[in-house]
Every structure is written in structure tokens, then in C-alpha cells.
Amino acid sequence: MLIKNPYFRSMFFYATNEKFHYTYRIMVNLKKEIDGTALRRAADITMKRYPYFAVKVEQNGEDYEIVPNDSPIVVTHGKELPYLGTEEVNYHFLAIGYEDKRIYFDVYHMLTDGGSMCPFIKTLLYYYLCDVTGLSLAPDGIRLIDSEISEEEYRDPFEMIKSYPAKAFYEYQPVKAFSLGSENRDTLGHQTSFFIKVNEKDFMNYIKENDGTPNAIASALFYRAIIRNHPELELPVVAGVAMNNMTVLNAADSYFSFVSLLHLKYISEMKDDDMRILGTVGRGMIMLQSQPENILVQTAQKPRLVKYLESFPTHEERRVAMWEVMQKAWYVDTYNVSYFGRIDWGSIGEYVDSMFGMIEAGEGGAMIEIASADGNFDFSITQSFRDDRYIKSFMELLEEAGIEFSYEGSMELMRPRVKVF
Amino acid sequence: MHITKSVNDNILKLTITGNLDVNAASKLNEITECDLAGIQELILDCQGVEEISSAGLGAILKAHRKMNTQGIMKVLNIQGVSKKIFEVTGFADVLTIA
């Protein structure tokens, strides 16, 4: 049930470092003030249902192991950010915080990704809301404490692969993309998150009218927002769209984090294209790049990465090598887009106002996290700089398209740090 | 939208006119599933295609994948916005376009 596969173990041990804490924060806004005592109780119950999230790292001779962690999950009041993997959070890689009407879920990305955290969040909110309301809310679609932990929840995708294709169906050729950082040097390094709630019905209609998907249209709108500020731009703008490989690998419900990036390239000849063309193009690029052979060829390379890392004698050298690999793979796109998918809150939906994911943007880039549930698309746009001109243009575009939205403010990026060993 | 079929030995030519939208894609998918037995060359003549949607791209990709296992598919006379869409998406790199 715990992470054993050499690839996932390597990612867990080496994919974070002092410069880059590979973590994220999910902020769930409820409609009423949070009761910390009830939240504590709900957290304890929920951790029992998700034992694969209760882990710590132990030293075993020269090596390290991911082992069960029986200590309680830490629930703290206030917006202070935890240091995951350390004593202050009982060595867990997941911690919970709250203040006012907000609950924070602070997570090490190599424990699990945002999509796989959603069932956990639903379970926790269910027990919390049953407790504070005194109601027996309908449990449909929620993993309860006494429900079976199915093998699908911790399925190793590598075990599902029968054979690998000789070559990819299509290989995207990386290009030198426009960097937002090059135009925003004054405030570069001040990671800032902006929050926008978008009417789900309006946005879905707009998506349908323009032959898109949430990912394709969000990418195209942000591209338009960039062009509005840089009309003379010649360099291509590239959106790195996160794709969960687990669906292709027949392990869609597994908690392991296995995401790759698809690249939506907008060239200067597309500046004046209407949104419908951008929608079709976006979907076409997603379609072509997400063909199963492409994912399988990428997956086949993972054991080679493990071998490469293990060719370095010390853990610290492996971490440095991993950082170099990650930098080459990631920081080539202008911005990134990640859509959690639609969340069906079920009976707890009427108590939830919004949910925003926050993760560090790549150097000079921006990270757009999107969640949809109960009438809204919740956009969290984190930039690696403070300037809000692209956000303003993004909202202008929504307004011009007749899409109802509300700006929910901004804040300095809040994401926890992590120490694996 | 209209798709005209003509068969010559083991060559099937489909002449598409109008918009390659959801309806046309559905028809193209039907042809891919039912009419390709024994066909070694599939020609899509797109001279009359005005607009192409993502469903149209999906149908073309499906036909291409099917023909990869039994012969070749060629796309002829793609032009205008459709040609641009093929080029920027990468479809032009995967398909045989003449």
C-alpha cells in the first residue's frame, strides 16, 4: 500500500530540495467559521481511512525507507506554513491548518497529487460537517471509515503495463518560449496567487461554443491575456498542461503522483485567431500528445531515470542530479495549467464556498490551478512575480465573453516547505 | 456536410465537403469502423472542407491509426484555416499530407 516502486521512491526522496520545495496547499473555503476541535476529530477519523497518507521516512543504515506513521496528523490554527516531514508535523508529509472559514491542506507533491487529495478532503469535510451540524448527511460518493480500501486506490501503474511501444506516436519538439519573467524583472521572485471564481454554467457554455475543454480554453484565455499586454510578441507562448498519466495506465484511482506535461504552443501567427480556432487547436494538441504510446514511452524511461540517479553514490548527489533533470523538463513553458477535474461534493456541497489549489510557479512563469464544483470554476493563478496586468486582462476577457466571475483577491504564495531526510 | 465514397480496387477515396464537425466526424468514424476491410489506401480529399472541429481531428486521427495497421492514409487538398490547424497542432507531422 505504501510507496515501494523504485521510481516513486526516487521521486519521493529526491524531487525536492532547499531551493524548490515540491509541495502544494489546497485552501477550502467553507461558509461558516471553522470549529478547530471538530476539525481535529474529523482529521483523526479520516487518516484511518487513508493509511497510505500516514507515512514518515526512516533511516535504515545508509538508506531510507518510507514507513507507516502512527502519530496523529497535526492540525494547527492560523495561516502559518508547516515544515512537512519534520518533528513539528509529527514527521508526516501532510498537515492541516485552519483559520476563519478556511481549511488548509498542506501536502508534499510526491506523497500524492491534488486530484488524489480530493477524496481525502471530501471524507474529512463529511465527518467534520456531520459533527458540527449534528446532521446525518448523505454519504453518497464519499469514502467512509468503514468502507473497503480497494486495491485500485494504491495500484502501482507500472504493474499494469503489459508491454511498451517501440516509439512514441508523436513527439513534441520543444521551442524557446516567451518567459513572463523577462517582462517582469522588478518583482520577480515574489510568488503571488490571485483567486477568481468563475460561473460554471457560463464558462461551460463558452467552452462548448469554442470547441474546447477547461484546460484548452483556460490556456487560450491566458494566452490572449499575454498578447493583450505584448501585442508585438514574436516568440511563441507555450502552456504546459498537466496530464494525469494514471488514466492511460489503467490506474486512475491510484494515489501515486504521476503527471506529465502536454505543451500547447501558440505561435505569433495565431494572435488574431478567434477563440474557436484556439479551442480546436488546443484540443487537437492535447489529443495528439496524449496518445497512449506517448505516455507509455515516457513511462518506459522512468526506470532509466532511477538507474541514472542510483549511479550517484550519495543521496545529496542524487538530489542535485534530480533537480537538474526537473529543471530541464519543466521550466521551458510560459505558464502551466492544471485542472483537477469536476468535484462532486454531494451532500456537503451546500457548505463549501470554494476550493483553490496553490503551487509554486516555475521561474519566470505562472501556474493556473483550476477546480470546478457546485456552480463555479475556481481559478488560482500563481505568478512568479507580483504584477497583476495579466490577471486584469484575463478578467477583461471573461467580461467581454459575458462570463460571470468574481475576483476573490490575491496573496503572497502560501506553500509549505518539506524535508524528506 | 457531405462525404462521397468511391472505391477503386483496394483504394477508398472520401471526398468531404462542408464543415468537418461533430456530425461529419460521426459519419467518418462510421466509415472507419465499417468500410475499411481490405482497403490498403484511404484518401481523404478535403478540398471542399470549410472548417474543421476537434471532433473532425479526432475522426481523422482514428482513421489514420486504423490505416497504419493495414496500409496508408493520405490527406489531399487541405487548405485555409484547416491547413493552419493541421500545422499548428502537429497533425501535419503525423499524417501524410499531399
Determine the pLDDT at residue A37: 98
Option in A169, A270, A283 nearest B88 (CB): A270
The set of residues, in sequence order, having a beta carbon less than 8 Å from that of B90 and lying 6+ positions away, is A170, A172, A284, A285, A288, A289
Q: Is the pLDDT of residue A414 over 90?
A: no
Residues pairing with A335 in the sheet: A239
Does residue B68 belong to the interface with chain A, where contact is any CB pair within 8 Å?
no
Q: What is the 3-state secondary structure (H, E, C) of A391-412?
A: HHHHHHHHHHCCCCEEEEEEEE
Cβ distance of B89 and A281 shorter than 8 Å: yes
pLDDT at A21: 93
Mutation target for B interface from A265, A270, A280: give the one with most B CBs within 10 A. Answer: A280
* CA distance linking residue A78 with residue A104, whole number of Å: 10
Nearest by CB to A267, from B81, B85, B88: name it. Answer: B88
* DSSP code string of A65-106: EEEE--SPPPEEESSPPPEETSGGGTT-SEEEEEETTEEEEE
Cα A304 to Cα A310: distance, rounded to the nearest angstrom: 10
Q: Using alpha carbons only, give the angle B9, B13, B16 rounded to the nearest 5 degrees.
A: 165
Bridge partners of A418, per DSSP, are: A84
| Count of all residues that appear for chain B in the document | 98
Helix, coil or strand: residue B16? strand
Say what the pLDDT of residue B1 is: 78
Is B61 at the interface with chain A, CB within 8 A?
Answer: yes
Q: Could A280 and B85 be called an inter-chain contact, meaning their C-beta atoms sit closer than 8 Å?
A: yes
**CB contacts, 8 Å: A283 with chain B:** 54, 57
Using CA atoms, how far apart are residues A222 and B25, in angstroms rounded to an integer? 29
Q: What is the DSSP string of A311-358?
A: TSSSHHHHHHHHHHHHHHHHTTSSEEEEEEEE---GGGGGGEEEEEEE
Measured between CA atoms, how close is A280 to chain B, in angstroms?
5
- The nearest alpha carbon in chain B to A293 belongs to B65
Q: Which of B81, B84, B94 sits opposite A288 (nearest CB)?
A: B94
Residues of chain A with C-beta less than 8 angstroms from the C-beta of B81: 277
Length of chain A: 421
Pick among B20, B50, B54, B82 to test the A interface (most A CBs inside 10 A):
B54
Q: Which residue of B has its CA nearest to A209?
A: B53
* Residues of B whose CB is below 8 A from A277: 81, 84-85
With a cut of 90, say whether residue A311 has pLDDT above it: yes
Is the Cβ pair B91, A288 closer than 8 Å?
yes
Partner-chain residue, chosen from B58, B88, B94, that has the shortest CB–CB distance to A170: B94
pLDDT in tens, A201-242: 999 999 999 999 999 999 999 999 999 999 999 999 999 999
pLDDT in tens, A10-65: 999 999 998 889 999 999 999 999 999 999 999 999 999 999 999 999 999 989 99
Instruction: Yes or no: say if B32 and B66 are a contact pair by the CB < 8 Å rule.
Output: yes
CA gap A13, A383 in Å, rounded: 27
Q: Is the pLDDT of residue A331 over 70?
A: no
Residue pLDDT, tens place only, A114-124:
999 999 999 99
User: Whole-angstrom Cα distance, residue B80 to residue B71?
Assistant: 28
Mean pLDDT of B67-89: 96
Nearest residue of B to residue A265 by CA position? B88
Is the CB of B54 less than 8 angstroms away from the CB of A169? no
| pLDDT tens-place string over residues A66-88 | 999 999 999 999 988 999 999 99
Across A368-391, average pLDDT: 95
B81 touches chain A (CB under 8 A): yes
Which of A121-125, A133-137, A254-258, A317-321 has the least mean pLDDT?
A: A254-258
Q: Which pLDDT tens digit goes with each residue over B41-75? A: 999 999 999 999 999 999 999 999 999 999 999 99
User: How far away is chain A from the Cα of B12, in angstroms, using its nearest Cα?
Assistant: 24
What is the overall mean pLDDT for chain A? 95
B53 φ/ψ sector (left φ>0, alpha ψ -120 to 50, else beta): beta
CB contact under 8 A, B54 and A280: yes
pLDDT at position A340 is 85
CB pairs A-B closer than 8 Å: 47
Residue type present at position A357: G
Please say whether the beta carbons of A216 and A264 come within 8 A: yes
Q: Do B54 and A287 touch (CB under 8 A)?
A: yes
Of B52, B58, B90, which is closest to A285 when you measure between CB atoms? Answer: B90
- Contact check, Cβ <8 Å, B88/A281: yes
Mean pLDDT of B22-38: 95
**Cβ <8 Å between A277 and B85:** yes
Give the burial string for A156-180 (b: 16+ CB within 10 Å, else e): bbbeeeeeeeeebbbebeeeebbbb
Tell me the mean pLDDT in the region A309-321.
Answer: 96
What is the nearest CA distance from B68 to chain A, expressed in angstroms?
Answer: 11
pTM: 0.94
ipTM above threshold 0.90: yes
Q: What DSSP element (H or E) covers A132?
A: helix A114-133
Q: In angstroms, rounded to a whole number, what is the distance separating the alpha carbons of residues B33 and B4?
A: 16
**pLDDT one-digit tens code per residue, A167-200:** 999 999 989 999 999 998 888 889 999 999 999 9
